[in-house]
Amino acid sequence: MTKPRENPLLNFGESVFSNRDALSESYEPDRILERDEEINQYAAALRPIVEGSTPDNIMVYGNTGAGKTAVTRYMIDMMYEACENSGNALSTVFLNCNEMTAFKVVRTLVNELRDEDKDEFPARGLSTRDALDALYEEIDDRAGTCILVLDEIDHIENIDSLLYDLSRSHSTGNLEHATVGIIGISNDYTFRDILSSKTRGTFAEEELDFTPYTANELEAILRDRAEISFRDDAITEAAINLCAAIAAQDSGNARQGLDILHAAGKEADKKDDKQVTEAHIRTGKRNVERGNIERRINSLTVQQQHILYTLALLEADGQTPARTKEIYSLYTSICEQSGLDPLSTTRSVREHLDKLSMQGFADQILRNKGRDGGKYHVYECSMRADIVLEIDLRE
């Protein structure tokens, strides 16, 4: 006879969190710290919108975790408030463009602007031109000022022609009752250079630069957020300082600091500790790193996962750097085990290895042995092999 077990869900100790959502990525703080300078510049750039004249296009540059997105969201709220006062009609769309094509971007914008009861713009079948026409129609229907915020704008394929078209929408007569402004957010400072000179001319933009947070600024931000999200005295001063120091090393990345804070809190709860300490921060940092790697691996295609897995196997076996054909032969036998149809050409595998290198999963080294060896690439796994080998290749 076994004793009935206590409900495990009623058995938790007291959590160190008082509001754990305040550390999540989607949380919008009601006060923005340490970005006064940026906010002032932003406000100046947004002035035409409040005054109801044609808005300037704005480009926001800065490293990841420098507050670009948070400040932009904040400024949007402020814009609505200001426009309500001045009586200007305003509509905005905020869109993260990561891994999107121009078509996808326009289509998503149309759907965001469309009323609920209207049908969605189809995912396939129509041209980008059709999508743009639909977009102009939606914007014009709303009249007033429309601001399109394109986060990670540098990730859009064919961004050039898209920006060209959007910034000419008035002169081409596509818009009659409305004006449109674009706010682009990017952590790639060379973004302007990839635009054609034709587009650069029309897409005359205001530029905002977000400088990385210093260790002191990060400390202030993390302390403020810790106050909201943790119980009183549930985190030590030293833990916050350490977390700020780690984030400062990662080029002032506040997002990383908040993630680590979150992970450290979870770790403390797991251990049933009453206070988050430096040890929890260190474990939290490792968990965040691992989580980031896992997420990136999961975003790969099955083929890419197999190839990365192969590379990690070779790495763990001390057989790297390995050349393409060595990787290819092991790869085919791994496919056999997992039941995946292997790619039939090394050309395709090379393509994937190339992509993996560009995304930082692998290191590509060029070798040249001249007449009796020719020119070829060798690869190494640049992720920790033990984490990669945890990939489940089945399904």
**Could you list the residues that contact DNA (CB under 7 A)?**
101, 103-104, 122-129, 301, 303, 323-325, 343-348, 350-352, 354, 368-377
Rounded-to-integer distance, Cα 217 and Cα 252, Å: 9
Q: Say if CB 262 and CB 239 are below 8 A apart.
A: no
Nearest CB to DNA, comparing residues 214 and 301: 301
Least Å distance, CB 334 to DNA, is 14
Least Å distance, CB 146 to DNA, is 23
Nearest CB to DNA, comparing residues 56 and 354: 354
Rounded-to-integer distance, Cα 385 and Cα 148, Å: 42
- From residue 392, give the alpha-carbon distance in Å to each of 129, 288, 309, 395: 41, 20, 10, 8
Nearest CB to DNA, comparing residues 152 and 205: 152
Q: Say if CB 143 and CB 178 are below 8 A apart.
A: yes
Nearest CB to DNA, comparing residues 209 and 354: 354
SS3 of residue 186 by DSSP: strand
Nearest CB to DNA, comparing residues 3 and 375: 375
Strand residues in the chain grouped as ranges (E)? 57-62, 90-96, 144-151, 178-186, 205-210, 322-323, 362-368, 375-381
Least Å distance, CB 180 to DNA, is 21
Least Å distance, CB 327 to DNA, is 10
Strand ordering across the sheet containing 322-323: 322-323, 375-381, 362-368
Least Å distance, CB 97 to DNA, is 12
Report which residue type is found at 5: R
Least Å distance, CB 37 to DNA, is 38
Nearest CB to DNA, comparing residues 112 and 351: 351
Q: Say if CB 353 and CB 364 are below 8 A apart.
A: yes
Q: Please count the other Cβ atoms lying within 10 Å of the Cβ belonging to residue 181.
A: 23
Rounded-to-integer distance, Cα 54 and Cα 49, Å: 7
Q: How many CA atoms lie less than 13 Å away from 305 in the CB half-sphere?
A: 20
Nearest CB to DNA, comparing residues 255 and 377: 377
Q: At what angle do helices 254-270 and 278-298 cross, to 10 degrees?
A: 110
Least Å distance, CB 30 to DNA, is 37
Least Å distance, CB 158 to DNA, is 8
Nearest CB to DNA, comparing residues 295 and 375: 375
Of 86, 90, 83, the C-alpha closest to 181 is: 90
Nearest CB to DNA, comparing residues 214 and 345: 345
Of 242, 244, 237, 239, the C-alpha closest to 222 is: 244
Q: Please count the other Cβ atoms lying within 10 Å of the Cβ belonging to residue 299.
A: 11
Any bridge partners for residue 362, and if so which? 381
Rounded-to-integer distance, Cα 143 and Cα 114, Å: 13
Least Å distance, CB 315 to DNA, is 18
